[in-house]
Structure 1
Amino acid sequence: MGTSRNVERRTILKAAGATAATLGLAATTGCGGGSGSGDGTVTLRYAWWGGEPRTIAIKKTIALFEKKYPKIKIKPEFTDYQAFWEKFQTQASGGNPPDVFQNAVGFLRKYDKRGVLMDLKTQADAGNLDLENFRNGVLANGQVDGKQIGIPVGANTMALVIDLKAFEKAGVEAKFGWTWDEYFDALQTIQDKLKIAGDTGYFTIMYLYDLYLRQNGKAFFTDSDLGFTDDDLTQWWEDGYKRVKSGLVADPKKIEQVAPKSGLSAGLAASEFTWDNFSIRYEGEGESDYGLAPIPTTDGKDTGQYLGSLMLSAFSGTKHPKEVAQFISFMVHDPEVGKIMGYDRGILATTEQYDAFKPTDANNKGVAAYEDEVAEAGVLGKITPHPSGADVIEAAFLRLGGEIAQGKTKPADAAKALFSEAKAAFAG
């Protein structure tokens, strides 16, 4: 890695308090696709998921866009993550999805396969969409089989959030290049000295397992299948369950009892793996200080990390492709939009917005510093492919991992079940 800087010094989080993912917003309803009026005004439906802070910010950006393009009106639709995709599935099946919508890599191939997503390269070629100035190669995240079906609005990477006070009190340090053995040794020291678990449940997180596989020359997905064996997964889950039994990983029943609060911020464990831009939640929920620490490695160097992203996609059947492209281009490049959105959806994806937004709170500064340090370490690779059905498999991985943690399913049986469910998901 070439660096042993103390992560606490570089990336300490001091959150303002609000969580990044407040749920429970009522979904708005909208019938029909984008529409036009007699005076030439066009109306586009724009849908996203997220909490109230995101919705407030996005509505401000919509107002900016409508001021610049008075002949284009935006009709917002928003809800929480699960309800969004349930509704979108119904809309797509009925040929009535929104003109523009928030998207993620796990859904690209699924809806491209069904002909729902527009190839936005056509609008870029027509001069309606700017595909320049995307940072760190993140534009490739929205590409499938030579088509540009998603335009990134932000970028994030997996990180380890740690309880800084617990790590300091136990006398252990998180640093770039540490191995999995060193990580688990540190957690054992914390358990021995502080009598709390080291981790909240690492082995149930699909994207963390993907990093572990990448460290070992594999990946969770190939273009059309799983990139590992059931023996690989059985070993991963067996090791995880042993750590639950030993107390190194927190009791899943206790984790459930404090939900929706995190087990880390509830003081049940000293660390938790998550996406770096989700880390704002911990200071708002907990009573300690929290920091972003490096992903453990197999070889002391390769973390397997890559930049993921939220994106904007467009309906292939929209009646207003030019206006849709103009809207997306504005939303990913306009500097004022960047200032309004900040890092709500990850580190801003284009140079215009990244340069325009200067975080003032230590929370966002910590996320930016973490991603800068990961980039400087030279460990970032390309995102792994996500075949159609990836979203179903992610949900199955989380569910089966939870059953293992509670002793309801044996790891080998869970691995067989995942492969069976994956086969069905890929065929769907």
Structure 2
Amino acid sequence: MHPASSPTADAPRDHRTPFRRGRRLRALVAAVVALPLVLGAAACGGEDNEASTDPNAPVELSIFWWGGEARANLTEQALALYTQKHPNVTFKKTWQANQGYFDKLATLTAGGDAPDIFQIDDNFLTEYASRNTTLDLTSYKDDNKLDVTKFPESLWQYGVVDGKLAGIASGENTQGLVYNKTLLQKHNLPEPTTGMTWEAFISWAEQVSKTTGTPGTMDPSADYKAFWVWLRQQGKDLYKGKDLGFDEADVTRWFELWKGARDRGATPTADVIHEGNATDITKQLVVTGKAATSFVWVNQLPELKKNTKDELGVIAYPGDPSAQWARASMYWSVFRGTKHKDVAVDVLNFLSNDPEAGKILGTDRGLPSNLDVRKTVSDAVTDPAMKTSIQVETDLATKFGPSPQVPLKGHSKVRAELIKSAEEAQYNRQTPAQAAAAFLTACKSAIV
């Protein structure tokens, strides 16, 4: 199971709905030349163009998502169940791997062939919502036609952009600190605990390093997830309105915190830290044996476990856990210009809340958003690592604080620049202050 932001290993595929070469080229030109204009124009007046008032009239909805074969099979089974319960509704299904997905979505949208329903993540939700490409789902939520009453509140709120509900979470995830229980037990060392301060955690990691010879923790100074949680614990945020929610002094403090950890031997060397900065599960230091902990997503625990014989545990990130929130692993959004908005929203409601659909979809897109459905799915899980993942995230849900705003356009660039600047400090090519200044300048350019 992959978080929304992580590319899958599958080769790009497109086999449900092939696109002819000429049409693809024309659409690509439209995407490059006129994307900002067309996205808005295509949506104008779209909220009032329901095709028919007859509830039994035939409806074909186009739906587009990314993922591998397994996700495609599960999604198609769930959609087939919807058709079984609503025989007049059928689906034109298209899917492909993560790589190139958003290029294709932009092309389809700009070319006037936008899917009625599409999968999206928090890297792009603000961009599409700000261009009026996504249908505002607020009225459906308020009328309970899109039922979020069983969602953690911060989960559905994490789909709100500029006061409009632009997407509904198809699954939940949150940040998790995964640690090597076997290593700690072997050396009679205590396990880290949720709620310990960052300073206490670094001291714990230093002791692990001295006792075991294995660095106690991955250096997460390049990890936007860790930086974001730390900022929220300081009363700041990653974004605020249309601007950054932090300043150069905040970044300097963050980089200095981890320089101190490196100087104390609590982390590996810069070359090993660089390995851990990769998103590939197989390269995470907690499973390669190069650190006792890694900063990942809670739902990655089962995949991490496949890469090590050691027993793993998972807790919240250090500091106050209320800084964490129920993050949408990904969303479903409805195209504002669809001719079948009511039906499309009903499909989203079905995928989110129907118990049978929940059993089919399982945890492929994260833990089910509906807590009742999640319990049903959890009761059927036999994999110990998956059970642990579900239990930890469900327990953390009782400690979650309010969700932050959805990231601004340029978020993926901000993430990349954090890695670049943090590594400058990790390799001692720049001081924490110099690296922080470079990062802030790059961030301001990225979100313009």
**TM-score (norm. length: structure 1):** 0.83
- The verdict on how the C-alpha distance between 1:182 and 1:124 changes in structure 2, with shifts beyond 3 A counting, is closer
Matched, 1:279 2:301: yes
| In 2, Cα distance between equivalents of 1:123 and 1:395 | 36
2:324 aligns to what? 305
**TM-score (norm. length: structure 2):** 0.80
Matched, 1:417 2:448: no
Matched, 1:210 2:233: no
1:134 aligns to what? 150
Shift, 1:339, TM fit: 0.9
Aligned length in residues: 399
| In 2, Cα distance between equivalents of 1:255 and 1:90 | 37
Q: Which amino acid aligns with 1:99?
A: D
| In 2, Cα distance between equivalents of 1:100 and 1:48 | 9
- The verdict on how the C-alpha distance between 1:93 and 1:421 changes in structure 2, with shifts beyond 3 A counting, is farther
| In 2, Cα distance between equivalents of 1:81 and 1:200 | 27
Matched, 1:342 2:358: no
Shift, 1:68, TM fit: 2.3
Contact 2:301–2:386 (Cα < 8 Å) also in 1: no
- What is the SS of the residue equivalent to 2:333? strand
Contact 1:161–1:271 (Cα < 8 Å) also in 2: yes
Contact 2:248–2:437 (Cα < 8 Å) also in 1: yes
Q: 2:246 aligns with which of 203, 216, 228?
A: 228
Contact 2:358–2:368 (Cα < 8 Å) also in 1: yes
Structure 1: where are the runs of 5+ without partners?
Answer: 1-14
Q: Which moved more, 1:173-182 or 1:116-125?
A: 116-125
Shift, 1:291, TM fit: 0.8
Shift, 1:223, TM fit: 1.9
2:198 aligns to what? 180
1:360 aligns to what? 382
Shift, 1:269, TM fit: 0.8
Matched, 1:194 2:212: yes
Shift, 1:350, TM fit: 1.5
- The verdict on how the C-alpha distance between 1:264 and 1:93 changes in structure 2, with shifts beyond 3 A counting, is farther
Cα distance per residue 1:105-163 (max 9 Å; x no partner): 34222211112111123555788x42243322122121223322111222222111001
Q: Which moved more, 1:400-409 or 1:360-369?
A: 400-409
- What is the SS of the residue equivalent to 1:265? helix
Shift, 1:370, TM fit: 1.0
Q: Which amino acid aligns with 1:389?
A: G
1:240 aligns to what? 258
Matched, 1:329 2:349: yes
Shift, 1:380, TM fit: 1.3
Matched, 1:265 2:282: no
Contact 2:8–2:98 (Cα < 8 Å) also in 1: no
| In 1, Cα distance between equivalents of 2:203 and 2:443 | 34
Shift, 1:229, TM fit: 1.1
| In 1, Cα distance between equivalents of 2:82 and 2:438 | 47
Contact 1:47–1:102 (Cα < 8 Å) also in 2: yes
| In 1, Cα distance between equivalents of 2:334 and 2:401 | 27
| In 1, Cα distance between equivalents of 2:130 and 2:231 | 27
| In 2, Cα distance between equivalents of 1:211 and 1:371 | 16
Structure 2: where are the runs of 5+ without partners?
Answer: 24-41, 43-50
| In 1, Cα distance between equivalents of 2:442 and 2:150 | 36
Identity of matched residues, %: 27
